[in-house]
Homo-oligomer: A and B are copies of this chain.
Amino acid sequence: MRNDYDPFRGEFDSLEEFADRVSDVLRCPVTIEDANHRLIAYSAHDDYTDPARTATIISRRVPEKVINSLWKQGAIPALLKSREPVRVPPIEDVGLGSRVAVSIWKNDEVIGFIWVLETNRTLTPEEMEWLKLAAKAAKNKVLQLYMRKNKKEERVQELFWKLLTGHIATEDEIRAHLAAMQMTAAPPFAVVVFRFAADLTNEMERQISYLLQTTQQLPLPLYTTDGRDVILLAAPKTEQPLRELQRFIESFAAKMKERFHIHEVQCGFGGVYGGYRLIEKSYREALAVLALKEKLGDEIKSVYGYAQLGIYQFFDFLLEQKRQGEWTNPALTKLQSYDQKHQSDLVKTFETFFDHNENVQETADVLNVHPNTLTYRLKRIADIAELDLHDMNQKIKLYIDIKLAKYEARG
Protein backbone atom coordinates (compact mmCIF):
# COMPACT_ATOMS: atom_id res chain seq x y z
CA MET A 1 0.00 0.00 0.00
CA ARG A 2 1.52 3.31 -1.07
CA ASN A 3 0.70 5.75 1.70
CA ASP A 4 1.35 8.81 -0.39
CA TYR A 5 -0.87 7.78 -3.26
CA ASP A 6 -4.01 9.92 -3.56
CA PRO A 7 -6.37 9.10 -6.38
CA PHE A 8 -8.33 12.31 -5.74
CA ARG A 9 -5.57 14.81 -6.17
CA GLY A 10 -6.33 17.61 -8.57
CA GLU A 11 -9.29 19.87 -9.26
CA PHE A 12 -12.85 18.97 -10.00
CA ASP A 13 -15.36 21.23 -11.70
CA SER A 14 -18.24 19.98 -9.70
CA LEU A 15 -19.11 17.59 -6.96
CA GLU A 16 -20.92 15.42 -9.49
CA GLU A 17 -17.65 14.93 -11.34
CA PHE A 18 -15.99 14.16 -8.04
CA ALA A 19 -18.63 11.60 -7.13
CA ASP A 20 -18.12 9.89 -10.44
CA ARG A 21 -14.40 9.80 -9.82
CA VAL A 22 -14.83 8.17 -6.42
CA SER A 23 -17.26 5.73 -7.91
CA ASP A 24 -14.76 4.85 -10.62
CA VAL A 25 -11.95 4.32 -8.14
CA LEU A 26 -13.96 2.18 -5.77
CA ARG A 27 -16.08 0.53 -8.44
CA CYS A 28 -19.24 1.20 -6.42
CA PRO A 29 -22.15 3.69 -6.50
CA VAL A 30 -21.33 6.78 -4.48
CA THR A 31 -23.51 9.39 -2.83
CA ILE A 32 -22.42 12.63 -1.20
CA GLU A 33 -24.62 14.28 1.41
CA ASP A 34 -24.34 17.41 3.47
CA ALA A 35 -24.43 17.35 7.28
CA ASN A 36 -28.20 17.23 7.22
CA HIS A 37 -28.41 14.29 4.85
CA ARG A 38 -29.43 16.34 1.90
CA LEU A 39 -28.16 15.03 -1.36
CA ILE A 40 -25.28 17.05 -2.74
CA ALA A 41 -24.05 14.79 -5.51
CA TYR A 42 -24.17 11.20 -6.70
CA SER A 43 -22.31 9.04 -9.17
CA ALA A 44 -24.25 8.58 -12.38
CA HIS A 45 -23.14 5.51 -14.27
CA ASP A 46 -24.06 2.80 -11.87
CA ASP A 47 -25.74 -0.39 -12.84
CA TYR A 48 -27.30 -1.16 -9.47
CA THR A 49 -28.59 0.93 -6.56
CA ASP A 50 -30.64 -0.20 -3.59
CA PRO A 51 -34.11 1.26 -2.84
CA ALA A 52 -32.73 3.57 -0.16
CA ARG A 53 -30.33 5.19 -2.60
CA THR A 54 -33.00 5.52 -5.26
CA ALA A 55 -35.34 7.23 -2.85
CA THR A 56 -32.57 9.53 -1.68
CA ILE A 57 -31.80 10.63 -5.21
CA ILE A 58 -35.43 11.10 -6.17
CA SER A 59 -36.31 13.27 -3.19
CA ARG A 60 -32.84 14.86 -2.95
CA ARG A 61 -32.65 13.89 0.68
CA VAL A 62 -32.18 10.72 2.66
CA PRO A 63 -35.57 9.35 3.75
CA GLU A 64 -36.18 9.98 7.39
CA LYS A 65 -36.77 6.36 8.27
CA VAL A 66 -33.36 5.53 6.80
CA ILE A 67 -31.75 8.21 8.92
CA ASN A 68 -33.60 6.94 11.96
CA SER A 69 -32.40 3.40 11.47
CA LEU A 70 -28.85 4.56 10.87
CA TRP A 71 -29.00 6.38 14.18
CA LYS A 72 -30.40 3.36 15.96
CA GLN A 73 -27.90 1.05 14.35
CA GLY A 74 -25.10 3.35 15.41
CA ALA A 75 -23.56 4.34 12.08
CA ILE A 76 -24.31 8.05 12.26
CA PRO A 77 -23.17 8.49 15.85
CA ALA A 78 -19.92 6.77 14.87
CA LEU A 79 -19.47 9.00 11.83
CA LEU A 80 -20.05 12.09 13.92
CA LYS A 81 -17.42 10.98 16.39
CA SER A 82 -14.60 9.85 14.15
CA ARG A 83 -13.05 10.49 10.77
CA GLU A 84 -12.70 6.75 10.12
CA PRO A 85 -14.87 5.03 7.55
CA VAL A 86 -17.73 2.99 8.97
CA ARG A 87 -19.23 -0.14 7.45
CA VAL A 88 -22.99 -0.53 7.72
CA PRO A 89 -24.46 -4.00 7.33
CA PRO A 90 -27.63 -4.25 5.25
CA ILE A 91 -30.87 -3.13 6.88
CA GLU A 92 -33.69 -4.87 5.07
CA ASP A 93 -36.53 -2.87 6.65
CA VAL A 94 -35.56 0.35 4.96
CA GLY A 95 -34.12 -1.05 1.74
CA LEU A 96 -30.55 -0.43 2.71
CA GLY A 97 -27.81 -2.57 1.16
CA SER A 98 -24.37 -2.99 2.65
CA ARG A 99 -22.36 0.20 2.47
CA VAL A 100 -19.37 2.08 3.76
CA ALA A 101 -19.47 5.72 4.83
CA VAL A 102 -17.09 8.40 5.90
CA SER A 103 -17.71 11.86 7.29
CA ILE A 104 -16.37 15.08 5.79
CA TRP A 105 -14.87 17.44 8.34
CA LYS A 106 -14.10 21.11 8.62
CA ASN A 107 -12.17 21.76 11.81
CA ASP A 108 -14.16 19.96 14.49
CA GLU A 109 -17.38 19.87 12.61
CA VAL A 110 -18.94 17.36 10.30
CA ILE A 111 -20.13 19.08 7.14
CA GLY A 112 -21.04 16.08 5.04
CA PHE A 113 -20.87 12.38 4.29
CA ILE A 114 -19.74 10.15 1.48
CA TRP A 115 -21.63 6.90 1.08
CA VAL A 116 -20.36 3.98 -0.89
CA LEU A 117 -22.81 1.24 -1.75
CA GLU A 118 -21.15 -2.15 -1.75
CA THR A 119 -23.25 -3.63 -4.49
CA ASN A 120 -21.55 -6.87 -5.33
CA ARG A 121 -18.15 -6.47 -3.72
CA THR A 122 -16.60 -5.45 -0.42
CA LEU A 123 -14.16 -2.59 -0.06
CA THR A 124 -10.65 -3.60 0.83
CA PRO A 125 -8.81 -1.94 3.73
CA GLU A 126 -6.77 -0.04 1.14
CA GLU A 127 -9.90 1.26 -0.50
CA MET A 128 -11.21 2.28 2.90
CA GLU A 129 -8.10 4.43 3.25
CA TRP A 130 -8.77 5.96 -0.15
CA LEU A 131 -12.26 6.82 1.02
CA LYS A 132 -10.75 8.85 3.84
CA LEU A 133 -8.72 10.74 1.24
CA ALA A 134 -11.89 11.29 -0.77
CA ALA A 135 -13.50 12.84 2.29
CA LYS A 136 -10.63 15.25 2.65
CA ALA A 137 -10.70 16.11 -1.03
CA ALA A 138 -14.43 16.81 -0.92
CA LYS A 139 -14.11 19.20 1.98
CA ASN A 140 -13.58 22.45 0.08
CA LYS A 141 -16.36 21.91 -2.43
CA VAL A 142 -18.84 20.99 0.27
CA LEU A 143 -17.78 23.97 2.30
CA GLN A 144 -18.53 26.36 -0.54
CA LEU A 145 -22.07 25.09 -0.73
CA TYR A 146 -22.32 25.43 2.98
CA MET A 147 -21.31 29.09 2.91
CA ARG A 148 -23.63 29.91 0.09
CA LYS A 149 -26.47 28.35 2.01
CA ASN A 150 -25.62 30.27 5.14
CA LYS A 151 -25.77 33.56 3.32
CA LYS A 152 -29.16 32.75 1.94
CA GLU A 153 -30.18 31.55 5.37
CA GLU A 154 -29.48 34.97 6.83
CA ARG A 155 -31.76 36.72 4.41
CA VAL A 156 -34.45 34.15 5.00
CA GLN A 157 -34.21 34.59 8.73
CA GLU A 158 -34.66 38.28 8.39
CA LEU A 159 -37.85 37.66 6.48
CA PHE A 160 -39.05 35.20 9.08
CA TRP A 161 -38.66 37.72 11.86
CA LYS A 162 -40.64 40.21 9.90
CA LEU A 163 -43.39 37.67 9.57
CA LEU A 164 -43.28 36.77 13.25
CA THR A 165 -43.52 40.34 14.38
CA GLY A 166 -46.06 41.41 11.80
CA HIS A 167 -43.73 43.87 10.10
CA ILE A 168 -44.82 42.97 6.63
CA ALA A 169 -47.21 44.96 4.55
CA THR A 170 -49.23 42.68 2.30
CA GLU A 171 -49.67 39.07 1.43
CA ASP A 172 -48.43 39.79 -2.08
CA GLU A 173 -45.27 41.34 -0.78
CA ILE A 174 -44.57 38.27 1.26
CA ARG A 175 -45.12 35.97 -1.67
CA ALA A 176 -42.74 38.06 -3.74
CA HIS A 177 -40.07 37.81 -1.07
CA LEU A 178 -40.44 34.08 -0.77
CA ALA A 179 -40.33 33.59 -4.52
CA ALA A 180 -37.15 35.65 -4.70
CA MET A 181 -35.56 33.22 -2.27
CA GLN A 182 -36.87 30.18 -4.06
CA MET A 183 -38.95 29.25 -1.07
CA THR A 184 -42.00 27.24 -1.84
CA ALA A 185 -43.75 27.67 1.45
CA ALA A 186 -47.45 27.36 1.06
CA PRO A 187 -50.14 27.91 3.67
CA PRO A 188 -51.55 26.82 6.01
CA PHE A 189 -48.91 27.59 8.57
CA ALA A 190 -48.41 27.24 12.27
CA VAL A 191 -45.62 28.60 14.39
CA VAL A 192 -43.90 26.11 16.68
CA VAL A 193 -41.66 27.21 19.53
CA PHE A 194 -39.34 24.91 21.42
CA ARG A 195 -38.05 26.33 24.64
CA PHE A 196 -34.92 24.90 26.23
CA ALA A 197 -33.76 25.03 29.80
CA ALA A 198 -30.99 27.49 29.03
CA ASP A 199 -29.75 29.65 26.20
CA LEU A 200 -28.79 27.63 23.18
CA THR A 201 -25.13 26.83 22.62
CA ASN A 202 -23.66 26.59 19.14
CA GLU A 203 -23.39 22.86 19.62
CA MET A 204 -27.08 22.59 20.44
CA GLU A 205 -28.07 24.85 17.62
CA ARG A 206 -26.28 22.55 15.24
CA GLN A 207 -27.97 19.50 16.65
CA ILE A 208 -31.37 21.09 16.55
CA SER A 209 -30.79 22.32 13.06
CA TYR A 210 -29.80 18.79 12.10
CA LEU A 211 -33.03 17.36 13.47
CA LEU A 212 -35.13 19.98 11.78
CA GLN A 213 -33.38 19.55 8.45
CA THR A 214 -33.71 15.81 8.50
CA THR A 215 -37.30 15.57 9.57
CA GLN A 216 -39.72 14.83 6.81
CA GLN A 217 -42.81 14.54 8.91
CA LEU A 218 -43.89 17.94 7.79
CA PRO A 219 -42.34 20.82 5.85
CA LEU A 220 -40.56 23.38 7.98
CA PRO A 221 -39.84 26.18 5.55
CA LEU A 222 -38.43 28.65 8.07
CA TYR A 223 -36.78 28.57 11.43
CA THR A 224 -34.80 30.78 13.69
CA THR A 225 -33.69 31.02 17.30
CA ASP A 226 -34.20 33.53 20.07
CA GLY A 227 -32.42 33.02 23.36
CA ARG A 228 -33.77 29.76 24.77
CA ASP A 229 -36.33 29.47 21.99
CA VAL A 230 -36.23 27.75 18.65
CA ILE A 231 -38.97 29.15 16.50
CA LEU A 232 -40.13 27.38 13.41
CA LEU A 233 -42.72 27.76 10.78
CA ALA A 234 -44.46 24.51 10.05
CA ALA A 235 -46.60 23.88 7.00
CA PRO A 236 -48.79 20.88 7.76
CA LYS A 237 -49.86 19.06 4.68
CA THR A 238 -52.66 16.84 5.91
CA GLU A 239 -56.24 17.54 6.76
CA GLN A 240 -55.44 17.05 10.42
CA PRO A 241 -52.70 19.57 11.02
CA LEU A 242 -52.96 19.49 14.78
CA ARG A 243 -52.31 15.79 15.07
CA GLU A 244 -49.51 16.18 12.59
CA LEU A 245 -47.88 18.86 14.66
CA GLN A 246 -48.40 16.92 17.86
CA ARG A 247 -46.68 13.88 16.41
CA PHE A 248 -43.82 15.97 15.08
CA ILE A 249 -43.23 17.62 18.41
CA GLU A 250 -43.27 14.37 20.31
CA SER A 251 -40.85 12.72 17.94
CA PHE A 252 -38.64 15.80 17.96
CA ALA A 253 -38.48 15.81 21.74
CA ALA A 254 -37.79 12.08 21.78
CA LYS A 255 -34.94 12.45 19.33
CA MET A 256 -33.44 15.35 21.24
CA LYS A 257 -33.39 13.09 24.24
CA GLU A 258 -32.17 9.90 22.55
CA ARG A 259 -29.59 11.36 20.26
CA PHE A 260 -28.30 14.41 22.03
CA HIS A 261 -29.37 13.83 25.62
CA ILE A 262 -31.14 17.14 25.81
CA HIS A 263 -34.09 16.84 28.16
CA GLU A 264 -36.38 19.50 29.45
CA VAL A 265 -37.63 20.85 26.20
CA GLN A 266 -40.88 22.72 26.47
CA CYS A 267 -42.93 23.29 23.40
CA GLY A 268 -45.93 25.22 22.21
CA PHE A 269 -47.52 25.90 18.89
CA GLY A 270 -50.11 28.38 17.76
CA GLY A 271 -53.11 28.09 15.54
CA VAL A 272 -52.96 26.75 12.00
CA TYR A 273 -53.89 29.62 9.73
CA GLY A 274 -54.21 30.14 6.03
CA GLY A 275 -52.69 33.57 5.59
CA TYR A 276 -49.12 34.77 5.89
CA ARG A 277 -50.27 37.66 7.97
CA LEU A 278 -51.61 35.35 10.64
CA ILE A 279 -48.15 33.95 11.28
CA GLU A 280 -47.75 36.67 13.85
CA LYS A 281 -50.89 35.56 15.63
CA SER A 282 -49.80 31.96 15.60
CA TYR A 283 -46.49 33.01 17.11
CA ARG A 284 -48.19 34.92 19.88
CA GLU A 285 -50.34 31.91 20.60
CA ALA A 286 -47.35 29.62 20.74
CA LEU A 287 -45.76 31.91 23.29
CA ALA A 288 -49.01 31.99 25.23
CA VAL A 289 -48.95 28.19 25.45
CA LEU A 290 -45.43 28.29 26.84
CA ALA A 291 -46.30 30.97 29.34
CA LEU A 292 -49.24 28.91 30.55
CA LYS A 293 -47.16 25.80 30.81
CA GLU A 294 -44.73 27.67 32.99
CA LYS A 295 -47.55 28.55 35.33
CA LEU A 296 -49.63 25.42 35.29
CA GLY A 297 -46.94 22.82 34.94
CA ASP A 298 -48.33 19.33 35.08
CA GLU A 299 -51.85 20.53 34.55
CA ILE A 300 -51.29 20.81 30.81
CA LYS A 301 -48.13 18.81 30.43
CA SER A 302 -49.14 16.95 27.30
CA VAL A 303 -50.70 19.96 25.63
CA TYR A 304 -48.70 21.72 22.98
CA GLY A 305 -51.19 23.38 20.71
CA TYR A 306 -53.04 26.56 21.49
CA ALA A 307 -56.19 24.86 20.28
CA GLN A 308 -55.75 22.14 22.87
CA LEU A 309 -55.50 24.65 25.67
CA GLY A 310 -59.26 24.66 25.79
CA ILE A 311 -60.59 26.80 28.56
CA TYR A 312 -57.14 27.97 29.55
CA GLN A 313 -57.19 30.16 26.49
CA PHE A 314 -59.24 32.74 28.28
CA PHE A 315 -57.90 32.25 31.77
CA ASP A 316 -55.81 35.37 31.75
CA PHE A 317 -58.85 37.30 30.90
CA LEU A 318 -61.04 35.64 33.51
CA LEU A 319 -58.40 36.11 36.14
CA GLU A 320 -58.33 39.80 35.48
CA GLN A 321 -62.09 39.92 35.87
CA LYS A 322 -61.88 37.90 39.01
CA ARG A 323 -59.34 40.20 40.55
CA GLN A 324 -61.09 43.43 39.86
CA GLY A 325 -64.67 42.40 40.44
CA GLU A 326 -66.07 40.41 43.31
CA TRP A 327 -66.09 37.15 41.47
CA THR A 328 -67.15 34.41 43.83
CA ASN A 329 -68.53 30.98 43.31
CA PRO A 330 -70.57 30.21 46.40
CA ALA A 331 -70.72 26.56 45.43
CA LEU A 332 -66.96 26.32 45.41
CA THR A 333 -66.70 28.27 48.63
CA LYS A 334 -69.06 25.87 50.33
CA LEU A 335 -67.13 22.86 49.11
CA GLN A 336 -63.88 24.37 50.24
CA SER A 337 -65.13 25.11 53.72
CA TYR A 338 -66.60 21.64 53.92
CA ASP A 339 -63.26 20.19 52.93
CA GLN A 340 -61.56 22.30 55.54
CA LYS A 341 -63.92 21.33 58.31
CA HIS A 342 -64.03 17.62 57.58
CA GLN A 343 -60.59 17.16 56.10
CA SER A 344 -62.17 15.76 52.98
CA ASP A 345 -61.26 16.17 49.33
CA LEU A 346 -64.48 17.04 47.62
CA VAL A 347 -62.98 19.76 45.46
CA LYS A 348 -60.11 17.59 44.39
CA THR A 349 -62.49 14.73 43.76
CA PHE A 350 -64.62 16.81 41.46
CA GLU A 351 -61.63 18.22 39.67
CA THR A 352 -60.07 14.84 39.13
CA PHE A 353 -63.37 13.45 37.94
CA PHE A 354 -63.52 16.11 35.28
CA ASP A 355 -59.86 15.83 34.46
CA HIS A 356 -60.65 12.23 33.60
CA ASN A 357 -63.58 13.00 31.40
CA GLU A 358 -66.22 12.12 34.00
CA ASN A 359 -65.13 8.53 33.87
CA VAL A 360 -66.01 6.92 37.19
CA GLN A 361 -63.78 3.88 36.94
CA GLU A 362 -60.72 5.80 35.89
CA THR A 363 -61.14 8.53 38.46
CA ALA A 364 -61.70 6.03 41.24
CA ASP A 365 -58.48 4.30 40.28
CA VAL A 366 -56.53 7.52 40.28
CA LEU A 367 -57.92 8.51 43.66
CA ASN A 368 -57.48 5.02 45.06
CA VAL A 369 -61.05 4.66 46.17
CA HIS A 370 -63.94 2.41 45.37
CA PRO A 371 -66.08 3.54 42.44
CA ASN A 372 -69.07 3.68 44.75
CA THR A 373 -67.17 5.98 47.05
CA LEU A 374 -66.66 8.28 44.14
CA THR A 375 -70.32 8.36 43.21
CA TYR A 376 -71.20 8.88 46.84
CA ARG A 377 -68.91 11.85 47.01
CA LEU A 378 -70.32 13.28 43.83
CA LYS A 379 -73.81 13.07 45.26
CA ARG A 380 -72.49 14.74 48.36
CA ILE A 381 -70.97 17.48 46.26
CA ALA A 382 -74.28 17.99 44.51
CA ASP A 383 -75.97 18.35 47.89
CA ILE A 384 -73.48 20.66 49.47
CA ALA A 385 -72.85 22.87 46.48
CA GLU A 386 -76.49 22.71 45.41
CA LEU A 387 -75.29 21.65 42.05
CA ASP A 388 -77.26 19.71 39.47
CA LEU A 389 -74.85 17.08 38.24
CA HIS A 390 -77.01 16.59 35.17
CA ASP A 391 -76.52 20.18 34.16
CA MET A 392 -73.38 20.48 32.08
CA ASN A 393 -73.48 24.20 32.42
CA GLN A 394 -73.18 24.24 36.17
CA LYS A 395 -70.60 21.51 36.19
CA ILE A 396 -68.47 23.37 33.72
CA LYS A 397 -68.72 26.52 35.75
CA LEU A 398 -67.53 24.79 38.88
CA TYR A 399 -64.71 23.10 37.00
CA ILE A 400 -63.56 26.37 35.55
CA ASP A 401 -63.71 28.07 38.91
CA ILE A 402 -61.67 25.31 40.50
CA LYS A 403 -59.02 25.60 37.83
CA LEU A 404 -59.16 29.35 37.99
CA ALA A 405 -58.54 29.29 41.72
CA LYS A 406 -55.50 27.11 41.15
CA TYR A 407 -54.35 29.40 38.40
CA GLU A 408 -54.80 32.41 40.59
CA ALA A 409 -52.85 30.84 43.41
CA ARG A 410 -49.88 30.31 41.14
CA GLY A 411 -50.15 33.28 38.84
Query: Which residue numbers of A lie inside 8 Å of B, CB to CB?
Result: 240-243, 271-273, 281, 307-314, 317-318, 321, 326, 328, 330-331, 354-355, 357-358, 383, 386, 388, 390-397, 399-400
Q: How far is the CB of A313 from chain B (nearest CB, A)?
A: 7
Contact of A355 among B310, B355, B392, B397 (CB under 8 A): B392
Specify which chain B residues have a CB less than 8 angstroms from the CB of A240 in the assembled complex.
383, 386
Contacting pair A392 B357 (CB below 8 A):
yes
- A119 vs B148: C-alpha distance in the bound complex, in angstroms? 115
A386 to B326, CA, bound (A): 37
Question: Once the chains bind, are A308 and B358 in contact (CB under 8 Å)?
Answer: no
Cβ contacts under 8 Å, A242 to chain B: 386
- Given A307-B386, A314-B321: A330 and B271 within 8 A (CB)? yes
Q: How far is the CB of A151 from chain B (nearest CB, A)?
A: 36
B residues near A321, Cβ cutoff 8 Å: 314, 317
Sample of 26 A–B contacts (CB below 8 Å): A240-B383, A240-B386, A243-B386, A271-B330, A272-B330, A273-B330, A281-B326, A307-B330, A307-B331, A308-B388, A308-B393, A309-B393, A310-B393, A310-B396, A310-B397, A311-B393, A311-B400, A314-B318, A317-B318, A317-B321, A357-B391, A357-B392, A358-B392, A396-B396, A396-B399, A396-B400
- Residue pair A308, B394 in contact (C-beta under 8 Å): yes
- Least CB distance from A240 to B in Å reads 5
> In whole angstroms, how far apart are the Cα atoms of A9 and B387 in the complex?
61
The 8 Å CB contact of A358, one of B313, B326, B358, is: B358
Nearest to A240 among chain B residues (CB) is B386
Residues of the B chain whose Cβ atoms lie less than 8 Å from the Cβ of A328: 271
Q: Is the CB of B399 within 8 A of A312?
A: no
- Within 8 Å CB of A308, what residues of B? 388, 391, 393-394
CB-CB under 8 A from A392, the residues of chain B are 310, 354-355, 357-358, 399
In the bound complex, what is the Cα–Cα distance between A393 and B312 (angstroms)?
8
Q: Smallest CB–CB gap between A400 and chain B, Å? A: 7
Bound together, the chains give a CA A395 to CA B396 distance in angstroms of 10
Q: With A and B bound together, what is the CA distance between A391 and B309 in angstroms?
A: 10
- Please tell me if the beta carbons of B399 and A310 are within 8 angstroms of each other in the complex: no
Least Cβ–Cβ distance between A223 and chain B, in angstroms: 23
Bound Cα distance from A390 to B358, whole angstroms: 9
Q: Give 16 new A-B contacts, CB below 8 A, not counting A241-B386, A272-B330, A281-B326.
A: A240-B386, A242-B386, A243-B386, A271-B330, A307-B394, A308-B391, A309-B397, A310-B392, A310-B393, A310-B397, A311-B393, A311-B397, A311-B400, A317-B317, A317-B318, A396-B396
Bound complex: CA of A328 vs CA of B272, how far in Å? 11
Interfacial chain B residues near A388, Cβ < 8 Å? 308
A391 to chain B, nearest CB (A): 7
**Distance, CA A330 to CA B242, complexed state (A):** 11
List B contacts of A273 (CB < 8 A).
330
Q: Which residue of B lies closest to A393 (CB)?
A: B310
